[in-house]
Amino acid sequence: MMRDGHIHTPFCPHGSTDSFEEYIEKAIESGFKEISFTEHAPLPDGFIDPTPDKDSGMDKVYLKNYLHQLKTLKEHYQSKIIINIGLEVDYIIGFEQQTRQFLNEFGPFLDDAILSVHFLQTADEYVCIDFSDEVYLQFANKVGGIAPMYELYYETVKKSILADLGPFKPKRIGHPTLIHKFQLAHSKQIDDSLQIKEILILMKQHHYELDFNSAGLSKPFCKEPYPPLPFVQFAKELKIPIIFGSDAHTAQHLHQHYEVLQQKIIF
């Protein structure tokens, strides 16, 4: 069954104003039978968004309206397509308790959710690692190079898998090689295959799904999905549930690269 499990919405502060209906109608026309809207959840209470416009997550004041609109659309389109009400939740070191409290409050209203790492912590600050190539390279210099930055990212993803975020913790790990987003912006050749496999094995042991995220193919400094195809094959061998996600922030990008990836790996 054709499914897209990672879709953003007009509630995304750094996305587009494309309506829910535009996404839904395109999904139906494209033959998809199930979609999940997974807007960036409000960031944890007390966390200061390090991005310039502080637009990494939905403002909490809009969350109930987001849930209400999706509930209405889910019922309206139920004869044509399965619509899952979801969120993409950030795992941020040091804010586990706040995240658990948020999930306990809003988790009962969700059908689906993704747990992702976008923010890395050093001793004195948090950085949104996928914000720009400039931020990415500056952070690498701060932590001692590209390889240490990769290590920090993968260790943070491991912590996200092991964290106790309560009974409503998301069961799908988002784009677990997002650290590759700007890999062509530096000249280093980093062999992180062992680290990626360790992540996937840990996901298997703790019964997580994989967000097979096509967005990286469209990023000029990445040019590959998250994770790359050999590791999706490894995940298949481990029998990890693989959920395609276009990570679309516009209706135009909905289901981006689905057919190409489906031809290479059946998921």
Q: What is the pLDDT of residues 61-96, one digit of tens each?
A: 999 999 999 999 999 999 999 999 999 999 999 999
Paired with 4 in beta bridges are: 35
Q: State the pLDDT at residue 266.
A: 78
> What CA–CA distance (Å, rounded) separates 77 from 82?
8
Q: State the pLDDT at residue 124.
A: 79
Asked if 214 and 256 count as a contact pair (C-beta separation under 8 A), the reply is yes
Q: What is the pLDDT of residues 128-152, one digit of tens each?
A: 999 999 999 999 999 999 999 999 9
Q: What is the pLDDT of residues 90-126, one digit of tens each?
A: 999 999 999 999 999 999 999 999 999 999 999 879 9
Average pLDDT on 242-263 reads: 97
DSSP string, 108-129: GG-SEEEEE--EEE-SS-EEET
Asked if 127 and 135 count as a contact pair (C-beta separation under 8 A), the reply is yes
pLDDT at 174 over 80: yes
Checking DSSP bridges between strand 34-40 and strand 3-7, what pairing results, if any? parallel
pTM for this prediction? 0.97
Residue 184 confidence class, pLDDT cut points 50, 70, 90: very high
